[in-house]
């Protein structure tokens, strides 16, 4: 117990100092390190492996839905950004601009992409000619840059990795359907891959994406009760189609503008995983995205046959598609237990001479602390079952927290009390920007998404009839 306390003391107390706990965890588990340029991060192999698993799982879903991958340039002509006025105004404070290259000043400044609606819109304007070219549904995996003032690894950095999907349709109805379809895809991914319950819904006008007709968000509750926007989808109407001349000849021969939409999630999802599932001992990674799903710790490793048995079990698991690893380092078993717990490996297997002789192995779930013995002959089936149980347990635990910490407020004082207590707060809203601003000023809370179940009768600020019921929260 002494060694365990010493090991865990390397990270701050999750209940007393959650922000410091987060920083300690992401650095000490070697997910990231700070880059030499302020606000940037270096994603280390362990962290990048989590992103690769997210990318692989999500990319398969995109392809199954009929979306194709492409790649567009990092540098965008400044003139592109000015074609859609609301868009450029929304991103102006965050844009990094290249003015010199090749030893001289550029004729036109180039923007380092903060997002790619403009350049993809330009190319779609070249590629779309006829109704036969529609729909055009593209996605790219890339990096983007937004010059953030306040940064934190994964949650908000000047440069980050993401996917951004962009589609153009013949009709607004089709583009709106795609906007909601991708929101549902994100929700399914969050809940069934990341084990993370989320709220989804339309954003208010104040919170929508610059240049969009409507924005929809996916909000997750973190351990401290704050919300983290974990993905967004945007219906653009014809705003970008008209700005970039995305036109097609219809079946009747008439020239029409298309309707566009876009959607994206980023490496912020890794931060969401950490802050949703982590505990006082460090990370807890959902099995679908964990780089190592099972770590096998040989006990009395130098005794004859122990390491061989551990490697044989690893090979069996790997053949069955389980990401398994043997820790054959010279560290003590206790040290290994604590290290892999901090790194969030879902399942630890212990295998020693007595276990081998008895035809058994010991397993410890990361979401629990109890050891249990299982028959070695059923190892593959047992491990697969345990990983599935861990996945279900993580989701149920996070869902229970979010449900128990979602409250309804009938006054600004109740709303303030709710968000200060680490809750999502449902409240009525009249739809006026002034009242939304008042909530932020009074409670330092923002409208996260509009609840599709509109139940509240009056606006929490002005007392007028409520046109919407909104989830308010403090957010990262």
pTM of the model: 0.95
Task: Report yes or no: 249 and 255 within 8 Å, Cβ to Cβ.
Answer: yes
Q: What residues contact 255, with CB distance under 8 A and at least 6 apart?
A: 247, 248, 249
Share of the chain above pLDDT 70, in %: 97
Helix H or strand E encompassing 267: none
CATH code for residues 406-473: 3.30.110.30
pLDDT of 1 reads 41
Please tell me the predicted confidence (pLDDT) of residue 172.
98
Token pair in block for residue 214: 């409507």
Distant-in-sequence, close-in-space partners of 319: CB < 8 Å, separation ≥ 6:
none
pLDDT tens, the chain, 476 aa long: 444 445 556 899 999 999 999 999 999 999 999 999 999 999 999 999 999 999 999 999 999 999 999 999 999 999 998 887 677 676 778 899 999 999 999 999 999 999 999 999 999 999 999 999 999 999 999 999 999 888 999 999 999 999 999 999 999 999 999 999 999 999 999 999 999 999 999 999 999 998 899 999 999 999 999 999 999 999 999 999 999 999 999 999 999 999 999 999 999 999 999 999 999 999 999 999 999 999 999 999 889 999 999 999 999 999 999 999 999 999 999 999 999 999 999 999 999 999 999 999 999 999 998 999 999 999 999 999 999 999 999 999 999 999 999 999 999 999 999 999 999 999 999 999 999 999 999 999 999 999 999 999 999 999 999 999 999 999 99
Return the CA Rg of the chain: 25
Residues 6+ apart with CB under 8 A from 135: 167, 168, 169, 170, 174, 178
Dist CA 10 CA 333 (whole Å): 19
Q: How many helices (H) and strands (E) does the chain have?
A: 15, 23
> Alpha carbon of 163 to those of 95, 186, 379: distances in Å?
19, 12, 37
Which pLDDT score, from 0 to 100, does residue 302 have? 87
Half-sphere exposure of 232 (CA within 13 A, CB side): 20
Task: Give the start-to-end residue ranges of the domains of the chain.
Answer: 2-277, 294-388, 406-473
How many other CB atoms are found less than 10 A from the CB of residue 223?
19
Look up the CATH superfamily of 2-277. Answer: Bira Bifunctional Protein; Domain 2 (3.30.930.10)
State the CATH class of domain 294-388.
alpha beta
Q: What's residue 3's pLDDT?
A: 46
Give the model's pLDDT for residue 92. 75
Cβ neighbours of 300 (radius 10 Å) = 13
Angle at 387 between CA 54 and CA 276, to 5 degrees: 55
Cβ within 8 Å of residue 53, ≥6 positions away: 288, 289, 290, 291
């Amino acid at each position: 117990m002494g060694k365990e306390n010493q090991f865990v003391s390397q990270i701050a107390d999750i209940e007393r100092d959650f922000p410091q706990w987060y920083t300690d965890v992401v650095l000490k588990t070697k997910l990231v390190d700070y880059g030499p340029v302020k606000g940037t991060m270096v994603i280390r192999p362990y962290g990048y492996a989590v992103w690769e698993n997210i990318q692989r799982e999500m990319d398969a879903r995109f392809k199954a839905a009929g979306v194709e991958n492409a790649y567009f340039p990092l540098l965008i002509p400044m003139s592109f950004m000015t074609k859609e006025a609301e868009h450029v105004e929304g991103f102006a404070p965050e844009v990094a601009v290249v003015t010199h290259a090749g030893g001289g000043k550029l004729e036109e400044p180039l923007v380092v992409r903060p997002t790619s609606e403009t350049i993809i819109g330009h190319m779609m304007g070249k590629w779309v000619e006829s109704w036969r070219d529609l729909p055009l549904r593209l996605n790219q995996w890339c990096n983007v840059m937004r010059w953030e003032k306040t940064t934190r690894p994964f949650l908000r950095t000047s440069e980050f990795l993401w996917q951004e999907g962009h589609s153009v349709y013949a009709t607004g109805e089709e583009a709106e359907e795609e906007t909601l379809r991708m929101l549902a895809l994100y929700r399914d991914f969050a809940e069934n891959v990341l084990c993370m319950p989320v709220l989804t819904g339309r954003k208010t006008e104040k919170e929508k994406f610059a240049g969009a007709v409507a924005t929809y968000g996916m909000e997750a509750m973190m351990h401290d009760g704050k919300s983290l926007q974990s993905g967004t989808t945007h219906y653009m109407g014809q705003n970008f189609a008209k700005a970039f001349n995305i036109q097609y000849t219809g079946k009747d021969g008439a020239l029409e503008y298309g309707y566009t939409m876009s959607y994206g999630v980023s490496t912020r999802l890794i931060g969401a995983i950490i802050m949703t599932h982590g505990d006082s001992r460090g990370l807890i990674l959902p099995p679908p995205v964990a780089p190592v799903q099972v770590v096998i710790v040989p006990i009395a490793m130098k005794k004859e046959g122990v390491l061989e048995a551990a490697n044989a079990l690893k090979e069996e698991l790997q053949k069955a598609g389980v990401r398994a690893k043997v820790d054959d380092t010279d560290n003590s078993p206790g040290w290994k237990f604590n290290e892999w717990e901090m790194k969030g490996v879902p399942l630890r297997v212990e295998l020693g001479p007595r276990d081998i002789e008895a035809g058994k192995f010991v397993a410890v779930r990361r979401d629990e602390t109890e050891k249990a013995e299982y028959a070695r002959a059923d190892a593959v089936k047992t491990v697969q079952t345990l990983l599935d149980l861990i996945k279900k347990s993580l989701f149920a635990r996070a869902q229970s927290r979010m449900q128990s910490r979602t409250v309804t407020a009938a006054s600004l004082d109740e709303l303030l009390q709710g968000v200060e207590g680490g809750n999502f707060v449902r409240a009525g809203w009249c739809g006026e920007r002034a009242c939304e601003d008042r909530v932020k000023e009074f409670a330092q809370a923002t409208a996260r998404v509009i609840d599709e179940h509109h139940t509240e009768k009056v606006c929490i600020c002005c007392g007028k009839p409520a046109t919407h019921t909104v989830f308010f929260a403090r957010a990262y």
